[in-house]
């Protein structure tokens, strides 16, 4: 006699995979990820699940039309939710352009971009200070991305050096031989930002591959830094609040 039981009619079966509340959708890339990168498992002090949107590469959503890839992201959302995800983030800040569409589709909280943190960071700053951004492609960011995350346009921003080691590694799908060179590349971008805009009081890093350098940025420039890791950590803290002894 079998002892297997099934869920009663009208109830929802438990997901096949349990224990990972945050799902992360990753673009189809081949470059090396470092600890601190959104797509490196060692970055996370809590369990996460990854889904790769095969065939959707960074250029498709940065210089291309991200709306053309909505179906691929919707499929990834469906799969992550089926596997128990209670909140979902992505690995490309330029998906801010379709935040509203994907959040409307997702049955769980959905965060497309570190740029979602702009309004909150701005609200914390004293008078005369504003948020500054570092983006992977300054030619591609426009009003769509600010509107998608409820941020005001016109904030100061700089791009990474197009020929620098960070973007070269990503563009060439290369391995990282010297992480210190990439850190110096990120610090150089921040230096340009704060020299041109000394009123910048907080920094938001659009690119989800920049968090490995956030600690060095905060130390060097004495400003709070918000990135893909702070965004996902915030999501996790909402779906799994800390328990306190009684």
Q: pLDDT tens, 119-164?
A: 999 999 999 999 999 999 999 999 999 999 999 989 999 999 999 9
Looking at residues 171-184, what average pLDDT do you find? 91
Residue tagged 């340009």 (tokens): 192
**Residue 8's pLDDT is what?**
52
Q: Which two tokens stand for residue 169?
A: 């590694």
Q: Count Cα neighbours of 164 within 13 Å in the Cβ-side half-sphere.
A: 19
Q: pLDDT tens, 182-236?
A: 999 999 999 999 999 999 999 999 999 999 999 999 999 999 999 999 999 999 9
- Yes or no: is domain 114-228 CATH 3.40.50.1860? yes
CATH class for the region spanning 22-113+232-239: alpha beta
Looking at residues 64-88, what average pLDDT do you find? 95
* Domain residue extents for the chain: 22-113+232-239, 114-228
Q: Which two tokens stand for residue 205?
A: 């890093």
**CB count in 10 Å sphere of residue 187:** 16
pTM here is 0.91
**Rounded to whole angstroms, how far apart are CA atoms 95 and 200?**
24
SS3 for the chain is CCCCCCCCCCCCCCCCCCCCCEEEEEECCCCCCCECECCCHHHCCCCEEEEEECCCCHHHHHCCCHHHHHHHHHHHHHHHHHCCCCEEEECCHHHHHHHHHHHHHCCCCEECCHHHHHHHHHHHCCCCCEEEEEECCCCCCCHHHHHHCCCCCCCCEEECCCCCHHHHHHHCCCCCCCHHHHHHHHHHHHHHHHHHCCCEEEEEECCCCCHHHHHHHHHHHCCCEECHHHHHHHHHHHHCCCCCCC
> Do the first three CATH levels of 22-113+232-239 and 114-228 match, i.e. the same topology?
yes
């Amino acid at each position: 006699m079998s002892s297997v039981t099934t869920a009663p009619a009208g109830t929802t079966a438990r997901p096949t995979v349990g224990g990972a509340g945050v799902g992360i959708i990753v673009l189809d890339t081949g470059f090396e990820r470092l600890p601190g990168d959104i797509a490196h498992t060692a970055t996370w002090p809590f369990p996460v699940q990854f889904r790769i949107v095969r065939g959707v590469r960074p250029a498709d959503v940065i210089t291309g039309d991200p709306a053309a890839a909505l179906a691929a992201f919707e499929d990834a959302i469906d799969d992550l939710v089926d596997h128990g995800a209670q909140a979902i983030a992505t690995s490309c800040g330029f998906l801010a352009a379709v935040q509203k569409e994907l959040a409307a589709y997702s049955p769980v909280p959905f965060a497309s971009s570190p740029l979602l943190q702009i309004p909150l960071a701005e609200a914390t700053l004293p008078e005369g200070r504003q948020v500054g951004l570092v983006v992977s492609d300054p030619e591609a960011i426009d009003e769509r991305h600010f509107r998608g995350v409820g941020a005001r346009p016109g904030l100061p921003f700089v791009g990474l050096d197009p020929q620098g080691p960070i973007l070269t590694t990503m563009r060439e799908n290369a391995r990282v031989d010297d992480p210190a060179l990439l850190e110096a590349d990120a610090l150089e971008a921040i230096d340009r930002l704060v020299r041109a805009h000394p009123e910048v009081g907080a920094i938001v890093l659009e690119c989800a591959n920049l968090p490995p350098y956030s600690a060095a940025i905060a130390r060097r420039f004495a400003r709070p830094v918000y990135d893909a890791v702070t965004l996902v950590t915030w999501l996790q803290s909402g779906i799994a609040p800390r328990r306190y002894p009684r």
